[in-house]
Amino acid sequence: EDCPVGFLYTDATIPPGCDKCPAGKYAGNPASLSCDSCDADTYSEGKAASCTPCPYGSSTNSLTEQDISGCICPAGEGMEFSKEGYYTCMACVSGRFSSSSMHLCEECPLGHHGEAGSEKCDECAAGKYADVTGLSICKTCGYKQYAESSGSFVCTDCPVDASFDETISGSTTRNDCKCPAGKQNHIPPDQVSGSYYCESCPVGKSSTAGALSCTDCEAGKYASSTGMTSCMPCE
């Protein structure tokens, strides 16, 4: 008795019998002695009498694709199940993207955002951030916060004792955080955290409010203690 379509005759078993065609192949005729590879832009999941064409607009990167995931949509599109009841390539929605080698649209990663139909997600600009995936628009750093680099997924807080102009939104520099008089911006040597704190001026130096660094006392003046807001004249 002939093997049905989707199967091939084999004498590798005892007794000889029929063996199903593996995924990516097909047998369109009864009593086939071999399974043929699927053509480009088609696929089969096994036991196939013929290969299934990829949904409209998609293509395969190789032969012998084993399921619909081998059908790739153009960049900026992903495979979706339409309301009409079939798979088709559709533009990625805002906050998602697909490259030319992807089957589905994926969410933009942290620190990035994407418009509809994006091939890739863009980094958030300095002063903005994305602390969750899948954002279409980056969030803006708030009061007493800043983000100096692009691609940030969190904003850095100003020092607790620093002042901040309430009209500033989306600060891109730590210099918008103003240390009080008698202190200066202290940046950690390793710069790993990207944050800093307001450090008291050392002996022999002073600072006014908002100064980025302490200034040496000029000739004829002195600062005998730390945290001086001005240098005292010598007696």
- 133-154 pLDDT, tens digit per residue, is 999 999 999 999 999 999 999 9
Mean confidence (pLDDT) of the chain = 88
Q: Which residues, in sequence order, are CB contacts of 199 under 8 Å at separation 6+?
A: 183, 184, 185, 186
* Mean pLDDT value across residues 79-85: 79
SS3 70: helix
How far is it, in rounded angstroms, from Cα 142 to Cα 127? 9
Task: Give me the DSSP letters along 131-187.
Answer: -SSS-SSPEEP-TTEE--STT-SSPEEPPTT-B--TT--SB--GGGSBPPTTEEEE-
pLDDT band at 101 (very low <50, low <70, confident <90, very high): confident
Q: Which residues, in sequence order, are CB contacts of 176 under 8 Å at separation 6+?
A: 146, 158, 164, 165, 168
Percent of the chain with pLDDT over 70: 94
* Mean pLDDT value across residues 85-93: 87
What tokens appear for 177 in the block? Answer: 């955080």
What tokens appear for 126 in the block? Answer: 């300095």
Phi and psi at residue 156, in whole multiples of 5°?
-95, 135
Q: Is the pLDDT of residue 187 over 80?
A: no
Quote the pLDDT of residue 186: 79
What tokens appear for 211 in the block? Answer: 């100064």
DSSP conformational letter for 203: T
How far is it, in rounded angstroms, from Cα 44 to Cα 111? 39
CA-to-CA dists, residue 58 to 4, 34, 167, angstroms: 30, 28, 50
Which of 23-37, 58-72, 180-194, 203-217 is predicted with the least confidence, judged by mean pLDDT?
A: 180-194
SS3 69: helix
Quote the pLDDT of residue 228: 95
Quote the pLDDT of residue 65: 73
DSSP conformational letter for 108: -
Quote the pLDDT of residue 189: 56
Quote the pLDDT of residue 190: 55
Which of 45-59, 79-93, 167-181 is predicted with the least confidence, judged by mean pLDDT?
A: 79-93
pLDDT, one tens digit per residue, over 17-50 is 888 899 889 998 887 888 999 888 999 988 899 9
pLDDT band at 191 (very low <50, low <70, confident <90, very high): low
pLDDT band at 188 (very low <50, low <70, confident <90, very high): low
* Mean pLDDT value across residues 200-229: 93
Contact 37, 43 (CB under 8 A): no
Q: Is the pLDDT of residue 55 over 60?
A: yes
